[in-house]
Structure 1
Amino acid sequence: MTFAAPNSAPDPAPNPSPTPPIWTAPPKPRGSGMVFAIIGIVVTGFVGLLVLAYLAVGLGVPTLLIGSLLALVPLAMVLLAVRWVDRWEPEPRWALWFAFLWGAAVSVAIALIVDLGVQLAMAFAEPGGAPDEALQAVVQAPFVEEVAKGIGVLLIFAFSRSHFDGPVDGLVYAATVAAGFAFTENVLYFGEAFAEGGAETLGATFVVRGLFSPFAHVLFTACTGLAIGIGARRGGGAGVVGWFLLGLLGAIALHALWNGSLTFADDAIGLYLTVQVPIFIAAIGLTVLLRRQEVRVTRHRLAEYGAAGWFSPAEVEMLATPAGRRQAKAWAKAQTPPRIGVMRKLITDATHLAFTRQRIATGVASERTIVEEQGLLAAVVEDRRVLLS
């Protein structure tokens, strides 16, 4: 796969001096990203309090605490994996917080409200009747939950376009939303298991949900995130909605397959090993390939800036390869005083610069993207000045 720019894409502006000067770029326009962050986190946090109150009333505070502590185990596993995926081009913290709170609060609230509505409708239609649990597991839960989670990822794309460059970003946001949803769902399942069957039932539920399938929701919602990321790389706009619907269809189908296998299978362990484990391994392989693609994009685009005089060949190697970054951080830690923070900022700014250049070179940039490029060049210049002073 090559990443050569189309003929219509201009080359990066040449560096006016072998040593990049300190200059002031045009101010970046204040977009809706930070406003969205504040409003989004406040709203999702409020919904989270309502969900917490609902769980406390339904389970009782002691049971809620037990379920929450156990749910932290699979949550930590998922978040560590997300951090590994997100290391190359880290997403902004506010966006990740919004994603987590959307999954843990808003998505759960939507699922609970829909489930209550279904139960009320069944009660009116057939007094004394109970909803079909298998139908709920294979049809209702996959559709409602994946739509609820997917809307969160789509909102992040809509209000934080500059931080949503491609499939890896979509995977990171989708996985974070799914981690939040799975955390609250696990609290509920663990609490109910303890309340109904004591420690023995709780232990069995923890093994199945916390150890055997901590990444289940991540796998489902990743379909939606990857699809939105592909749409973003192809130019964004209204076409992303089509990609979102396509990814959502895949997420619902995978979720239904997973729940159906647990509901109808005679040999749950055999099906887990022959169906669910291969799906998980395939997801790992795809993630590794996407990360390698990010490395190639970074190296190719920073080399263009290097040809224009913004980086030396050694700096491109340092900023665009895993080995170079490790050596750079080790050097920064050994300085007196240590400058690891500045080195990390330089790596982050250079990586964002490379992906901003990718949008320009592939013809999906806007005027805002050009301004972002100038701001990132200024940031890289300042990072180098502080680092070498």
Structure 2
Amino acid sequence: MTEPAPWQGPAAGAQGAPPAPLPNAVQTAAANPAGAVLWPRPAPSGPPAGSRGLQLKVTNIILLCVLILVTVGTLAFFAASLGVNVFLICGALALIPLGICVATLVWIDRWEPEPVPALIVAFCWGAGMAVITTLVLGSWVQPLLIGNAPAADADMLGAVVQAPVVEEICKGAGLLLLFFLRRRTFDGPVDGVVYAGLIAAGFAFTENILYFGQALEEADGAAGGLVGIFIVRGMMSPFAHVMFTAMLGMCVGWAARHGGTALVLGAWVVGLLPAMALHGLWNATSFLGASFFAMYVVLQVPLFILFITGIVLLRRSEAKLTRARLADYVASGWFTPQEVPMLATGAGRRRALAWAKSFAAGAAMKEFIRLTTRLAFVRQRLIVDARTGGPASAARFREGQARELELLGKVVEVRRALLASHAAALPRR
């Protein structure tokens, strides 16, 4: 027998249907911390929203194609340099740490998944464009560093200073690009970590191929050197680059949630500092010889544990924010009190999906969860823009209001489809 709806309660009616939106809900301000009226006002003048959306989609498609071509071209160049056989061997090995990183980042992104094309853009920026710009920019920076510090060890200077500065700037440029392209859905620190992490994972993938190929060349084709560097880079530190650039992603994501463009640009500059510092610290340990493994255990392992702890806390904060913002809509009738915990907790979502799958409506429930989570983050952005003030914030606020109303309409449609499927699955008397 079909289970009752997870949101069923006294206000839901006999079959678990939430109340329809109040007729005057659009004119009613739901409670919110900022005390701002966040319901739609007249749309701003300018090109139609659909026109802007189409232009943005075309831009994203062109960028995606360009970055894919750049990535393929970069890998083809290194294949020609290393030799096809060596490239295939090293590429296969580099796929192992890449798979570990991508699987972890996808898990981190589960609460409010980012669009797949945007994730591909992030990876391709790291694997292609960031590698090329690093090589070009590094060729300019290296002579300057050596010229200003002639007595310093050139290898150590390059590893501890040049590589962290140049690589993190080049990777970070891709994160900044994604912020401007995905500004409407770049919602917080977790988004920053996911985008930055995929950029870094792509960069590490290409870099690992080069390091593995270099190890084979130096060992005259013997496997010993390759195994050693694979253990260090592929197994002991697959998340190294991800951790470095994720620090930048956290800062940019925090700024994206709490302010406008100026705050994001400032956070980008500030976030480069811990990213460069961690990168330089990791590279410095490679010059410790026998002490490397001791430093790895004493320093790098605790840093990794702190990083994982931070990610878990960030994911919890996303759930807390979702619950708070969806609760804003209860008073005006868009959601019932029973729906909020169903949509804003992991356990509630699992029960809701299990219920929906009992009558073959799992896909609709997933869409319902996705839309409501997006709605919660859009509302949070509205609250921030209402507090910020200024012409730019006012423009974003008006655009956000239109997006909020659009999402509310979609939520109502999906809910009706879910309940219709549930009613159709009930046994007829």
- TM-score scaled by length of structure 1: 0.89
Counterpart of 1:140 (choices 158, 162, 175) is: 162
Q: 2:209 aligns with which of 182, 187, 197?
A: 187
Offset of residue 12 of structure 1: 5.6
Would you say 1:94 and 2:121 are equivalent positions?
A: no
Instruction: Work out which of the residue numbers 268, 282, 286 in structure 2 matches 1:262.
Output: 286
Q: Which residue of 1 aligns with 2:402?
A: 371
Per the TM alignment, residue 171 of structure 1 is displaced from its structure 2 partner at its CA by 0.8
- Alpha-carbon separation, structure 1, partners of 2:344 and 2:230: 41
**How many Å apart are 1:266 and its aligned residue?**
4.3
CA contact 1:63–1:195 (8 Å) conserved in 2: no
Which residue of 1 is the match for residue 74 of structure 2?
51
Give the C-alpha shift of residue 202 in structure 1. 1.2
Q: Alignment partner of 1:267: what SS? A: helix
Kindly provide the amino acid, as one letter, of the partner of residue 114 in structure 2. Answer: E
Per-residue CA deviations over 1:226-257 (Å, capped at 9, x if unaligned) read 11112112222222111100001111111111
Q: Report Cα offsets for 1:260-304 as digits up to 9, x if no partner.
A: 122245411110011111111111111111111100110111111
Q: Which 10-residue stretch deviates more, 363-372 or 171-180? A: 363-372
| Structure 1: distance between partners of 2:33 and 2:362 | 37
C-alpha separation between the residues in 1 aligned to 2:38 and 2:156?
58
Indicate the percent of aligned positions where both proteins have the same amino acid: 49
CA distance in 2, matches of 1:234, 1:370: 17
In structure 2, stretches of 5+ residues that fail to align are 1-30, 41-47, 148-152, 389-395, 421-429
Aligned residue number for residue 69 of structure 1:
92
Q: Report SS of the residue matched to 1:5.
A: coil
**Rounded Cα–Cα distance in structure 2 between residues aligned with 1:164 and 1:334:** 34
1:186-335 to 2 correspondences below 5 Å: 186-197=208-219, 198-264=222-288, 266-335=290-359
Amino acid at match of 2:35: S
Q: 351-360 or 299-308: which moved more?
A: 299-308
Quick check: 1:8 aligned with 2:35? Answer: yes
CA distance in 2, matches of 1:109, 1:245: 22
> Which secondary structure does the structure 1 equivalent of 2:274 belong to?
helix
Distance in 2 between residues matched to 1:136 and 1:264, nearest whole Å: 16
Amino acid at match of 2:404: E
Question: 1:89·1:348 contact (CA, 8 Å) conserved in 2?
Answer: yes
- Amino acid aligned to 1:330: A
Q: Distance in 2 between matches of 1:266 and 1:205?
A: 15
What is the CA–CA distance in structure 2 between the aligned matches of 1:93 and 1:153, rounded to whole Å? 16
Contact 1:170 1:222 in 2 (8 A): yes
Instruction: State the alpha-carbon separation in 2 of the partners of residues 143 and 192 from structure 1.
Output: 23
State how 1:110-125 maps to structure 2 within 5 Å: 110-117=133-140
Distance 1:290 1:118, change over 3 A: closer
Q: Secondary structure at the match of 1:238?
A: helix
Distance 2:51 2:341 in 1: 32
1:57-111, CA deviations, whole angstroms, 9 ceiling, x for partnerless residues?
A: 1111111111111111111111111111100011111111110100010001112
* Matching residue's letter, 2:297: L
Moved more, 228-237 or 290-299: 228-237
> Does the residue aligned with 1:8 lie in a helix, a strand or coil?
coil
Deviation at 1:136, TM superposition (A): 0.9
Is contact 1:261-1:268 (8 Å) kept?
yes
C-alpha RMSD of the superposition: 2.2
Aligned residues of 1:12 and 1:308 also touching (Cα < 8 A): no
Aligned twin of 2:192: 170
Question: Which consecutive residues of structure 1, in runs of 5 or more, have no partner in the other structure?
Answer: 14-25, 126-130
Partner-residue secondary structure (3-state), 1:309? coil
Give, in whole Å, the separation in 2 of the partners of 1:11 and 1:374. 10
Q: Where does residue 156 of structure 1 map in the other structure?
A: 178
Letter in 2 for 1:101: C
Aligned pair count reads: 366
After superposition, give the CA deviation of every residue in 1:314-333 in whole Å (9 maximum; x if it has no partner). Answer: 22121111001111122222
> Separation in 1 of the partners of 2:95 and 2:127?
13
My pick for the range that moved more, 30-39 or 342-351, is: 30-39
Q: Distance in 2 between matches of 1:115 and 1:65?
A: 26
Instruction: Give the letter aligned to residue 188 of structure 1.
Output: L
Distance 1:354 1:117 in 2: 46
CA distance in 2: counterparts of 1:308 and 1:171, whole angstroms: 34
**Equivalent position of 1:18 in the other structure:** none
- Report if the CA contact (8 A) 2:212-2:230 is conserved: yes
Contact (CA 8 Å) 1:178, 1:218: kept in 2 or not?
Answer: yes
Change (3 A) 1:164 1:381: same
Within 1, Cα distance between the matches of 2:140 and 2:324? 53
Cα drift, residue 216 of structure 1: 0.3
Distance 2:107 2:72 in 1: 30
